[in-house]
Amino acid sequence: MSFAAINPFTGKVIAEIPAWTATQVDAALTEVAAITPIWAATPMAERCALMRQAGQVLRDNLQAYAETITREMGKLIGESRAEVEKCALVCDYYAEHGPAFLTDEAIVSDAGKSYVAYLPLGTVLAVMPWNFPFWQVFRFAAPALIAGNTGVLKHASNVPQCALAIEDVFHRAGFPAGVFRSLMVKASQVQKIIEDPRVHAVTLTGSEPAGRQVAATAGACLKKSLLELGGSDAFIVLEDADLDATVCGAVTSRFLNAGQSCIAAKRFIVVDAIAEDFVARFKAAVEALRTGDPSDAGTSLAPMARTDLRDELHQQVVDSLAAGAVAVTGCEPVAGDGAFYRASIIDRLEPGMRAYHEELFGPVAIVIRARDEQDALRIANDSPFGLGGSVWTRDSQRGERIARQIQSGATFVNGIVKSDPRLPFGGTKNSGYGRELSHHGITEFVNAKTIWIK
C-alpha cells in the first residue's frame, strides 16, 4: 500500500510514498518514547530557541514549501505562501510567549507555599486534514513542543509530501531526533496508535465522523482529546451593513482555499430588506472569479483537492436544488482536467434541504433570507455546528450584542472569521471541543499540577 499524491490541477500522480508497516510504526514510537522525558527536561529557553529556528527554516524555504502545498492539494500559490508565513508566525509567537504562559502560578492556601506547575503530558498524536496541510500541523505542534511534549503526526493521505516536509522543518531547525515524527500510516491504523501506552493525548482536526471515532477511542483509554471539526458558519447581513465591504468579505471568506475551510462563511443569512441588493452584488463578484492553474498569480479560484470531494459537493447542490432551492450562478463542475467546481450561489434555502443543514466544503455559498435581526439570529443558531460566525452592520455595538448570542467558538463583527495565534480557536456543539492557539491552546496538553509545601 502507498500514499498517492495527486495534483488536483492536472489529475496526475506526482508522488507515491509507501505506507508503513506495524514494525515501522513501533520503531518510530519507540524513538519518540525514548526522547520524551529528555525533551520534557530540556530548559524552556532551549526549546524556545529551537522553535524560533523552525520559524526561520520556514521563511528560508518559503517558496519551496508553498509549491509543495499547491502541487499536493491545489491551493493558490499566494495562499500557500501566506500559509507558510503564518506557520512561521505561530512558531515565533510561542517561542516568545510560551515561557510566560507556562510560568508557575502562585496560589494562596493553607500551605507555606502552594502553586500550580504546568508540566508536559508526554506524546501528543495529531490527526490532521489536507486543507491547510502546514498550518493545521504547526497550530498544534508549536505550543505542544514548547510545553515539553513530543508530537507524532498522522496526516491526511493525499498530502504525504507535506507531512514529510514538516518533519524535515524540525530536523533542519535542530530539534532532537524523535521530538516530532510524521507517521506514514492509514486511517485504519489510528485506533491502535491512540491505544498505544506511548501516546498520551490526541488532537484531531477533521470531519465530525472522524472526531467521534477518535474521541471514543481516546475516552476508552482515558486519554485527553481535543477536536476541531466541521463548521457551517453563519454570515449575518443586516439592513444597515456596508454592502461594498460586506460583499468583499463574503467572497473572500467563502471562496478562499476554494471554499475548503472549516471557518469559511457558508450560510449567508440576509435580512429581507437588502437581500435582493446583496445577492445581485454577490453574484457579480462571484462570477468575476476565474479558475485556472493555482500556480498562476492570475488565477482567483483554485481546484478542489480531490475529484471525489467535488462529486460529493455537487450531489449536495443537486439535491438542494431538487428540493426547491434556487441556483443563482454556477452549481456545476467544470469540464476537463482538474477537480474544479464553478463558484456557486444557491438562494432561498429552507429547512429540510441538504445545504441548509449540512456543511458544504467547497466553493458554494448558500443564501438564507431572514425577516429581521431576531429571525437572522434564530437561523444562525439553527445548526448542529458552532465553529465561527460573523455579523455585518454599521453599528458595531449592535453587532457585538448579536455576536454574544451566536452559538459558536468565535464571532467576528465586520470581519471574516480567521485564526490568529493571539486568540483562542475552537468550536461548540458538533464542531468539537477544546481550544487551540493563545494561552488557552498551550495549556490544553499540560498537567496543571498542584504543588503544596508546608
Task: Pick the closest to residue 169 from 62, 318, 23 (CA basis).
Answer: 62
C-beta of residue 245 within 8 angstroms of C-beta of residue 221? no
From CA 278, how far away is CA 280, in angstroms rounded? 6
C-beta of residue 410 within 8 angstroms of C-beta of residue 425? yes
Q: Hey, which residues are catalytic here?
A: 228, 262
Please give the C-alpha separations between residue 5 and each of 161, 300, 428, in angstroms, as whole numbers: 8, 23, 33
Q: Give the 3-state secondary structure of residue 1.
A: coil
C-beta of residue 94 within 8 angstroms of C-beta of residue 51? yes
Q: Give the 3-state secondary structure of residue 412.
A: strand
* Joined grid coordinates for residue 19: 505506507
SS3 helix, strand, coil % of the chain, rounded to 5?
45, 20, 35
Can you say whether the dihedral through the CA atoms of 393, 397, 401, 406 is positive or negative?
positive
**CB-CB neighbours of 454 under 10 Å:** 7
